[in-house]
Amino acid sequence: MAGNTVLFAVREHPGDDTVGAEQLRRIRKELEAGGLVVRWAGTGADARTVLRTEAGLAAALVDWGLGSRGGADGGPGGPPRHEPDGEPGGEPGGAAVLRQAGRRFQNLPVFLIAADESLEELPLWVSETVVGYVWPTEDTAAFIAGRISSAARAYREAVLPPFFKALRRFDDTHEYSWHTPAHSGGVAFLKSPVGRAFHDYFGERLFRSDLSISVEALGSLFEHTGPIGDAERNAARVFGADLTYFVLHGDSTCDRLVGHFSVTRDEIALVDRNCHKSVLHGLVVSGARPVYLIPTRNGYGLSGPLPRTRSRRARWPPGSRETR
């Protein structure tokens, strides 16, 4: 899934001999038993560093009264590891962490520890940022961990785009591969020493995910249905396009398809003289007649845009048909 890390941005150190720290350790144990990994940050600065560098977060537990910077050596019974006055300007360290989480992630489930603060005293924007509140010592560790795990699971499921989500689900079913490609999920490579080396280099998951269009659960590239169709519509939404179609074999095939679609034999195509060879391939197959336009170059010799004056002076080859 998207990630399996839960951020604990809390005042307590995992080694502290306090009731709050002990309960947080129990919650961490429950989360880890469910397959999640806990990153413990004892200051606002550490928590913001995790938010900035860890893209695999699935949830966060934030202490509103979190300190801003590290203090003395600390340790159980030792000096504090944070400054309890929070961020410069009087804002609690937890507030800065919540703002950072909102800027860095979209819809990341964040739970706020409100053990010492009254909810009525919190700013309104906090309630719009967090998905829930946690009182660690007022409930069981298993229940609190269950709430966090459920939110993390929903987030990981929602963050994946349509086709990748369907591919992950299909991979989890462990179906046999009775279709192309003929390596049968990579098993065929295990029959020889060189094949085994090839298999070990890329890993089993790559070959198990190397599937045919015959897999109905993934949809159809030809009919634009199922998860493939959903993914194409999602891509169109992201790029602001009316329609988006997925093409195999890269941009070169896309260039050829555009050439086939837009011009026919003896029609004119205005072409950048610096175009990719795939554009020329498309023109050859379609039978169109190119009129080459010389691009400008900057001081570094890099090709730039085509001036309008050059396109206006373009001459149509004899016997050709002008297209707009």
CATH number of residue 131's parent domain: 3.40.50.2300
111 CB contacts (<8 Å, ≥6 apart)? 59, 60, 61, 62, 130, 131, 132, 133, 134, 147, 148, 151
What pLDDT is attached to residue 74?
41
Note whether residue 193 is domain-resident.
no
Q: Output the pLDDT for position 85.
A: 42
pLDDT at 262: 87
Q: How confident is the model at residue 293 (pLDDT cuts 50, 70, 90)?
A: confident
Domain count, the chain: 2
- What range does the domain containing 136 cover? 5-159
Which residues lie below 8 Å from residue 193, measured CB to CB, with a gap of 6+? none
Q: For residue 282, tell me if it sits in a domain.
A: yes
Residues 44 and 143 in one domain: yes
Of 79-93, 119-133, 140-154, 289-303, the range with the lowest mean pLDDT is 79-93
Under the banding of pLDDT at 50, 70 and 90, the label for residue 68 is: low
* Residue 91 pLDDT level (bands cut at 50, 70, 90): confident
Whether 24 maps to a domain, the answer reads: yes
For residues 254 and 151, membership in a common domain is answered with no
| pLDDT at 319 (0 to 100) | 57
Question: How far is residue 292 from each of residues 61, 106, 298, 316, measured CA to CA in Å?
Answer: 61, 46, 19, 10
Of these ranges, 81-85, 186-190, 259-263, the one predicted with the greatest mean pLDDT is 186-190
| 58 in a structural domain | yes
Residue 226 has pLDDT above 60, yes or no: yes
End position of a domain, from candidates 127, 144, 159: 159
Last residue of a domain, one of 119, 141, 159: 159
Q: Is 170 contained in some domain? A: no
Please tell me whether the overall predicted TM-score, pTM, comes out greater than 0.85 for this model: no
Q: Are residues 124 and 9 in the same domain?
A: yes
Going by pLDDT thresholds of 50, 70 and 90, the confidence category of residue 48 is: very high
The pLDDT value recorded for residue 77 is: 39
Chosen domain end from 159, 188, 203:
159
Distance CA 123, CA 109 (A): 18
Four-residue CA torsion sign, 239, 243, 247, 252: negative
User: Do 297 and 153 share a domain, yes or no?
Assistant: no
pLDDT at position 75: 40
Q: Kindly state whether residue 227 falls inside one of the protein's structural domains.
A: no
pLDDT bucket at 132, cuts 50 / 70 / 90: very high
Q: Is 277 found in the same domain as 154? A: no
pLDDT at 122: 84
Is residue 182 in some structural domain?
no
- Judge whether 284 lies within some domain: yes
For the four alpha carbons of 158, 4, 142 and 107, in that order, the dihedral sign comes to: negative
* Confidence check: pLDDT of 311 > 60: no
The conformation of residue 82, written as its DSSP 8-state character, comes to B
Considering only CA atoms, which of 105, 1, 13, 107 is closest in space to residue 63? 13
Residue-level pLDDT at 114: 75
Q: How does residue 186 score in pLDDT terms, banded at 50, 70 and 90?
A: very high
Residue 139 and residue 18 in one domain: yes
Q: What is the DSSP string of 136-174?
A: GGGS-HHHHHHHHHHHHHHHHHHHS-HHHHHHHHHHHHT
- For residue 296, the model assigns a pLDDT of 78
d(CA 203, CA 51): 30
Q: Which residue has the higher pLDDT, 319 or 35?
A: 35
Q: What is the DSSP letter of 64?
A: T
